Amino acid sequence: MRISQRIQEMQLSPIRKLVPFAEAAKKEGKKVYHLNIGQPDIETPKEFFDAVKNFDQKVLKYAFSQGIPEIIESFRKYYDKWDIHYTEDQIRITNGGSEALTIALTAVCDYGDNVLIPEPFYTNYNSFSKSTGVHCVPITTKAEDGFKLPAKETIVSLINDKSRAILLSNPGNPTGAVYSRDQINMIRDIAIENDLYIIADEVYREFVYDGLDYVSFGQIPEIEDRVIIIDSISKRYSACGARIGCICSKNDELMAEVMKLCQGRLCVSTLDQVGAAALCNVPDSYLTSVYDEYIKRRNVVYDALKEIPDVICEKPMGAFYIIVKLPIKNAENFVKWMLTDFDLDGETIMMAPAQGFYATPGLGLDEVRLSYVLNVDDLKQAMIVLAKGLEEYRKIEK
C-alpha cells in the first residue's frame, strides 16, 4: 500500500527519537538526567487542579470550537497586562501551541508556498510545514553571533513570489536568543515591504533575563493586521500535559477563516480548558519565583559549560535552552553513546542532537541542545556527568 511522500519526508523528532535508548539505560539501572526536552519540573499551579476538581456538570459536552468563554477571557486578561488588547473573536483556543502553528500555516499558505524561519529553530516547525505542504526557507544564525538575525538585505534575498510569512520564536527555542528592538523593527519593515505575515511564537515571553528589553510583535500597531501570535500555557505555568494554547490576531478576516479549522477538529478538551481558565487567578508571585529559579538554573549550566575544554556556547538570554557546540564529530553518536555505553557511578544524561533543529544540510552536526528544566542540584550533577562523558568520548573518537 502507498504511503504519502509528504509524511515520508517528515523527520522524527530529534528531541524524542532517542527515547528508546534512554528507557533501555533506565532498565539497566542507570539514572538518566533528561536535558533533552522542555518539560519543567516546576509545580503546576494548584488553581488548575482545583478548577478541574470542582467541575460539576453531569455531561462532559463538546466545548465551543473557538474555546469556552472563560478561557478566552482569561487570555484577554493576560494580554492586557502586556498592553496587547484582543477582542474575544481575535483569540481561538487550540490544542497547545503546536495546533496553533499548524492552523496558522494552513490559514496563510497554499501548497508549495514557503515561510522564512531563523535557524536553528524548534524542530516541529519543519514537521508542521511538511504536513501542510509548506517549504521552510532557513535564515541562518550562528552561535558566535549570539544567534542574531543577519542583515536586512540577507533576509530579503531569501524572499520570492511564494513567500507568505516569517515565523520566529522569541525568546528562541532552541537558542535562548531574544530579539532586540532593532531586530524586531527590521522584521516589521520586511513584512510590510514584502506583504508577509509574521507568525510570532511567544510561548517563552515570561523568561527574558538580565534586564533585557522584551518587545512582543503584538505591541506594534503598524503590523497588527499581519501579526499572528502563537501562545501556550505549557511553559509559563508548567502545564505541558494540559495541551492548551491559542492563536491570536487582530486581522478579523483571517480569524474568521481560522474558525473553519477550529470547527473541523470540533473542540479542545473541555476539562483542560476549565483548568487553564483558572490560571488567570494565579498570583504574580508564582511567575516571579519561576523566573528567579530559571536564572539560577541557567547560570549553573552556563558556568559549568564554560569550564569544559573546547566547548563553545553563548549565554542564553531567554527561554530555558542552550545550544552547545561540542569538540566532537557527530553529536547524535555522542548522545547515543552516553545512554548505551557510559555512566558515572550509575548516572548519565540525555541530550537533543541539534542537527534536527536546522534546515540547512550539514549544520548542527557537532551541536546539542540542553534544556535546563531540572532542579539546581540535578543540573550540577548532570554537568559533572557531561564533562566526564565528553572527556572519555573524545579519547574513543580519536
Cell numbers that stand for 232 in this block: 501556550
Please tell me the predicted confidence (pLDDT) of residue 14: 66
Q: Among 246, 266, 144, which Cα is nearest to 203's?
A: 246
Q: How many CB atoms lie within 10 A of CB 186?
A: 17
Q: What is the pLDDT of residues 196-227, one digit of tens each?
A: 999 999 999 999 999 999 999 999 999 999 99
Res 311 pLDDT > 70: yes
Domains, the chain, in order of start with CATH, read 5-43+285-397 (3.90.1150.10), 46-281 (3.40.640.10)
Q: For the whole model, what pTM was predicted? A: 0.95
Q: How confident is residue 352, by pLDDT bands cut at 50, 70 and 90?
A: very high
Q: Among 169, 112, 105, which Cα is nearest to 139's?
A: 169
Distance CA 259, CA 14 (A): 32
**Side-chain half-sphere of 168: how many Cα atoms within 13 Å?**
32
Q: What is the pLDDT of residues 151-193, one digit of tens each?
A: 999 999 999 999 999 999 999 999 999 999 999 999 999 999 9
Residue 24 contacts residue 350 (beta carbons within 8 Å): no
Res 58 pLDDT > 80: yes
Cα 195 to Cα 161, 162, 188, 198: the distances in Å are 10, 11, 10, 10
